[in-house]
Amino acid sequence: MGLAEWSQRVGRVVQGRPRLEVENGRLVIEQHKSVRAYSSTCIRVDCPGGEIWIEGEGLMLEALSHAELTVLGTIRHVTWKDR
């Protein structure tokens, strides 16, 4: 299952969990707490109940606010890790 399809199925399912959306080549994450780690190959995002790990190449934060963050780059894997 591709990232876009996964986002559509999972992103809106659980209340209070982060919402992921792929739009125009960007990964948008809503309902995050903070960025725990940041490099051009891995971004770890703290969220209610766990972490989202984004792995790829040339990753960078295009936008970061309390409401959402936007990741650009070649995204290879997105993984949810429960606490």
And the tokens for 13? 């399912």
pLDDT in tens, 42-51: 999 999 889 9
Q: How far apart are CA 22 and CA 57, in angstroms?
A: 17
Q: Could you tell me the pLDDT band of residue 67, with boundaries at 50, 70 and 90?
A: confident
**Angle (CA) 38 57 4, round 5°:** 95
Judged against a pLDDT cut of 80, whether residue 5 lies above it is answered with no
Task: Return mean pLDDT, the chain.
Answer: 85
pLDDT in tens, 7-36: 555 544 455 678 899 877 799 999 899 999
And the tokens for 14? 């659980």
Select from 43, 52, 42 the least CA-distant residue to 18: 52
Select from 34, 27, 70 the least CA-distant residue to 51: 34
